[in-house]
Amino acid sequence: MKSNTKQFPKNKIAWLWENMEGKRALYFVGILGTVLYNILQLTIPYFSGKIVDLFLTGENAATNLQVHRDLLYRLLFAMVGFTFLRVIVVYGSCMIYETVSQSVLYRVRNYLYDKLQRQDMTFYSTYRTGDLMTRQTGDLDAVRHMVAWVVRMVVESFSLFAAAAVFFLYTNWKLALCVLVISPFVFWIIYLFRNRVAPMHAALREKLAQMNTCAQENISGNRVVKAFAREDYEIEKFDRANTDYAETNKATGMVWLKFFPIVESIANLMPVVLLAVGGVFMIRGQLTMGDYVAFSGLIWAIANPMRQMGNIMNEFQRFSAASKKVMELYYSEPKIRDEENAVSHPERFEGKIEFDNVSFQYEDGDLPVLHNISFTAHPNETVAIMGETGCGKTSLINLIPRFYEPTEGQIRIDGIPVEQLKLYDLRKQIGLATQDVLLYSDTIEGNIAYGDDSIKMNEVVKFARYSAAADFISKMPEGYDTLVGERGVGLSGGQKQRISLARALAIRPSVLILDDTTSAVDMETESYIQRQLENINHACTTFIIAYRISSIKDADKILVLDQGRIIEQGTHEELVAKNGYYATVYYHQYPMAAKMREQGVK
Ligand code: DGT
Ligand code: MG
């Protein structure tokens, strides 16, 4: 997978802070609330200490009870009042943490989605869908958890610890030091724990992504699974991923179990120290009973943050591993994007397309896929590309909308190199019917109007007619309102292709690219589509990739590709006369022509 040592422009906390924009002041109020709430926690032992000293055990306890009864009431009232106040502060600050964390989640999620939309093809072939989904959901939730819970716990623990420590030192600094001297050990142990658990959390995020990828691939590929009766195999595969994730989760939890007894022992040592040292101090008259009560009533405020440290560190490491994954997307930049001085071209292109000595290799590929491709398609011409499977046809046309960048050479549209054009303007003018048809879960109308949702119904019908789809659509019970499932479930291969063609036509492109678009359509329908395309009332340079001679023989120019090289180019007649690869395919597909040729030769 991606490198783990990736450097981001900001560290994770700064990144989080940036995404709290607009809510920072509120968050600060929440933090103050937590501090205040924890200081208020100390009031109870403070007041109970006072009551014990003044009214229960002190020298003048009986007199005080008689004379200063109003003070007792005031102290009791203050205890209740502060408790009430504490509840309100806790409620308020919890609401704040929740609000801010949801706002961060919302903001980052939208930003990531935007980022995903703008990524190039290489990005999508690098990352697995399940992994991307996990980053947007599970990993992002760990980030939210940091804002909502981890920070609160950190503030809570530290403020509680600090407030209690100050109170202890103020009340009896000698006893306080005896109790507090143990705490640095806990920090050391937590540091050791962090080093052990951090890589496990990184592995855990990866395992979660693997499990989700497994589920996602299986769900999208359910038809293949069923066709090959591989359900059991898939169940087993998921079970393995699930077990792996669960085991790693358990192992991560177990790490704390190793450290927990030490931390717990240290935390439990504190009341023991207090009892022993405090007892001696009391015997020597260096500590009042009231102070002792206050100490013992507050010892938890020192011990609990110690206990909590492991939990906090665990959650922090979870955030750390998850935020790394989220930030990788957050800061990823598509390699293919608008140049600084990109040319704006909102109007139509005339449609002259030049390939000038273009070579291309996929970033993750071992060998070049295209070699020195040069040709020109003039405005309104039709260029057909044929060649054996895997020879580079799709790769070639993918360079026109800049899905990939050539490794050498240049592609120009109306004389402007494509990389100098604004991507939006370039792609808006290219109608593409891809080889793998993907329709959205939407109505047929919605799918056809995908590239231009302002087109009217009669135009949708018109383009459906051009692509020979109108007939079968009108036969469907709900016509154009028929919902097609994910990826066009419910339609035949040829039907999907025709809707995809209508979708490409509907944007009235200056350049139309049809990648194997009629391969699943019968010959009769195909020739109907061809006649319709000739009558399209907007000028349009067309690229047709096909293997059927009938699809390409009328093209103005036919390019024959072989292993990424143009081996023949010309019109049908020229190529037949050339008697090369094209002619072989032609005679193979038209045995009658072959026979006539033989007779002619004889
Ligand atoms: P087709 O559709 O089966 O008739 O074949 P073509 O001519 O459209 O072939 P094309 O351009 O898809 O593939 C040309 C070569 O490039 C082939 O060896 C497979 C390889 N290739 C295609 N897509 C990718 C990709 O995304 N990454 C890498 N590394 N190689 C790819
Ligand atoms: Mg292809």
- Is 80 exceeded by the pLDDT of residue 361? yes
Q: What angle do CA 24, 26, 31 make, to 5 degrees?
A: 90
Check the CA dihedral 137-142-144-149 and report its sign. positive
| Tens-digit pLDDT profile for residues 273-305 | 899 999 999 999 888 888 888 888 888 888 888
What separation in Å is there between the alpha carbon of 388 and the centre of ligand 2? 10
Average the pLDDT over 325-349 and give the result: 92
Average the pLDDT over 228-237 and give the result: 92
Q: How confident is the model at residue 382 (pLDDT cuts 50, 70, 90)?
A: very high
Residue of the CA atom closest to atom 19 of ligand 1: 390
Residue of the CA atom closest to atom 9 of ligand 1: 390
- Paired tokens of 283: 């015997």
Alpha helix (H) ranges present in 378-511?
393-398, 423-428, 444-448, 457-466, 470-475, 493-505
pLDDT the model gives residue 397: 95
Q: What angle do CA 138, 323, 244 make, to 5 degrees?
A: 50
Residue of the CA atom closest to atom 14 of ligand 1: 392
Alpha helix (H) ranges present in 284-398?
289-330, 393-398
Q: Scan for tokens 């295209």, then name that residue.
A: 370
Establish whether residue 362 lines the binding site of ligand 1, counting it when its CB lies within 6 angstroms of any ligand atom. Answer: yes
Establish whether residue 394 lines the binding site of ligand 1, counting it when its CB lies within 6 angstroms of any ligand atom. Answer: yes
Q: Which of 181-195, 340-354, 514-528 has the lowest mean pLDDT?
A: 514-528
Comparing CA positions, the residue from 262, 72, 295, 256 lying closest to residue 164 is 295
Average the pLDDT over 156-165 and give the result: 89
pLDDT the model gives residue 144: 95
| Tens-digit pLDDT profile for residues 437-482 | 888 888 999 999 999 888 999 999 999 999 999 989 998 888 899 8
Comparing CA positions, the residue from 422, 206, 427 lying closest to residue 325 is 206
- Is 50 exceeded by the pLDDT of residue 149? yes
Query: pLDDT > 70: what percent of the chain?
Result: 98
Distance between CA atoms of residues 473 and 444, nearest Å: 8
| Tens-digit pLDDT profile for residues 523-540 | 888 888 888 888 777 889
The strand pair at 370-377 and 353-360 is best described as: antiparallel
Average the pLDDT over 5-12 and give the result: 80
Establish whether residue 221 lines the binding site of ligand 1, counting it when its CB lies within 6 angstroms of any ligand atom. Answer: no
Q: How confident is the model at residue 488 (pLDDT cuts 50, 70, 90)?
A: low
Q: How confident is the model at residue 602 (pLDDT cuts 50, 70, 90)?
A: very low
Q: What is the mean pLDDT of the chain?
A: 89
Q: Scan for tokens 């995809």, then name that residue.
A: 500
CA 165 to chain centre: 44
- Is 90 exceeded by the pLDDT of residue 15? yes
pLDDT the model gives residue 529: 86
Q: What angle do CA 482, 488, 489 make, to 5 degrees?
A: 90
Neighbours of ion ligand 2 (CB under 5 A): 394, 435
Average the pLDDT over 552-556 and give the result: 90
pLDDT the model gives residue 1: 41
Report for 17-21, 54-58, 119-123: range of highest mean pLDDT: 17-21
Q: What is the dihedral of CA 241, 242, 248, 252, to 10 degrees?
A: 150
